[in-house]
Amino acid sequence: FGKIDGIRDALVGAVGGNDESLSSYKIVTGGMLGTGSWEDELKVIGPPNTCSSSVPAELDDSIEHISSKQLPIGPLLKESTSLIQHKEGLYLIICGVKGEQCDSLEVLSTVQAQGNIVTLWTCPNISGEDQYAENISDHMIACEKETIDDLTSAYQEDRRFGAIVVDHSVPLTMIKMMNSVVRMGCGGEWCREQTEDPQVRLLSNHALILAFITDSSEEVRTRKHNFLDRVRKELGEDPLFRAEIVMKNTHNEGVQMEVGIISEDEDPLFR
């Protein structure tokens, strides 16, 4: 494993290349058990350590929980706007229940005009304790209809949704309901093409979808991942790119933040 860099440089030099003409990626696996150097190689596989500071980190043992305000949601959202190709399109922000804090909406409102933002609030009767009610299915069906109506009414013939942002405050029930909305595919309001009615083509070309996940619940994380995967399948574009960014707190292993990204354009996503 330690000879990979030397082999790479030799191959690049053999064809007249240099570092500027080289691009590569690494697949990290479990290695080859049984080799005499596997214990040493286990320490160097994976992404290189880019932190060269010799100053030890100072940890505050009194801090046991990091709130959403302390997570880097703001900078990430602002940087993510550079990925949006359809600059004239609308921004669809999916938030928690109206009246609660929605970081995605607050941040994007500082960099985008209000006329460019459409906010989709979680239906109040499917969140909190209501999500455990016996008639939750009826509430979710009603919420689905209300959501479709809101999306359709927000549509503008010359301006479709160029970006969809799922805030970390969106509850599990809303994600389940959005999965149902997306699952309608080209027979419903999310379809962009292959339909005679332009009123149902809500997504613009080169749409970008972002989902922020800070919940520690494995079920919530899975549902948000499934939502992105559902959108990916329904878009059906080729090429279509998916990326996930995971940030973990070095002091508290239970605290982490994930950002799921779907883009139809390779260059701005991977440059």
Has residue 60 got a pLDDT over 60?
no
Note whether residue 64 is domain-resident.
no
Instruction: Show the tokens assigned to 23.
Output: 């691009």
**Do 83 and 35 share a structural domain?**
no
Task: Write the DSSP string, 57-77.
Answer: PP--TT-----GGGSTHHHHH
Has residue 34 got a pLDDT over 80?
no
Instruction: Show contacts of 30-34: CB within 8 Å, 24+ apart.
Output: 31/1
- Angle 34-38-44 (CA atoms, 0-180°, nearest 5)? 160
Note whether residue 47 is domain-resident.
no
Note whether residue 51 is domain-resident.
no
Band of residue 185 on the pLDDT scale cut at 50, 70, 90: very low
Has residue 201 got a pLDDT over 50?
yes
Instruction: Show the tokens assigned to 100.
Output: 């609660």
CA distance 83 to 241: 12
Band of residue 95 on the pLDDT scale cut at 50, 70, 90: very high
**Do 154 and 35 share a structural domain?**
no
Q: Which DSSP letter does residue 100 get?
A: B
**Do 101 and 36 share a structural domain?**
no
Q: Which DSSP letter does residue 248 get?
A: E
Residue whose tokens read 């699952």? 183
CA distance 225 to 212: 10
More confident residue, 160 or 102: 102
Has residue 119 got a pLDDT over 60?
yes
**Do 253 and 200 share a structural domain?**
yes
Which among 169, 74, 70, 69 has a CA at the least distance from the CA of 119?
169
> How many structural domains compose the chain?
2
| % of the chain residues with pLDDT over 90 | 3
The reported pLDDT for the residue numbered 203 is 72
Strands of the sheet containing 241-248, edge to edge, are 117-122, 90-97, 161-166, 203-213, 256-263, 241-248
| CATH code of the domain containing 236 | 3.40.50
Has residue 187 got a pLDDT over 50?
no
Q: What is the mean pLDDT of residues 123-132?
A: 80
Domain housing 261: 71-270
Note whether residue 193 is domain-resident.
yes
Has residue 193 got a pLDDT over 50?
no
Note whether residue 246 is domain-resident.
yes
Among 150-159, 162-171, 219-228, the least confident range: 150-159
**Do 23 and 121 share a structural domain?**
no
Has residue 146 got a pLDDT over 80?
yes
Predicted TM-score of the model (pTM): 0.65
CA distance 147 to 170: 14
Band of residue 161 on the pLDDT scale cut at 50, 70, 90: confident
C-beta of residue 117 within 8 angstroms of C-beta of residue 109 = yes
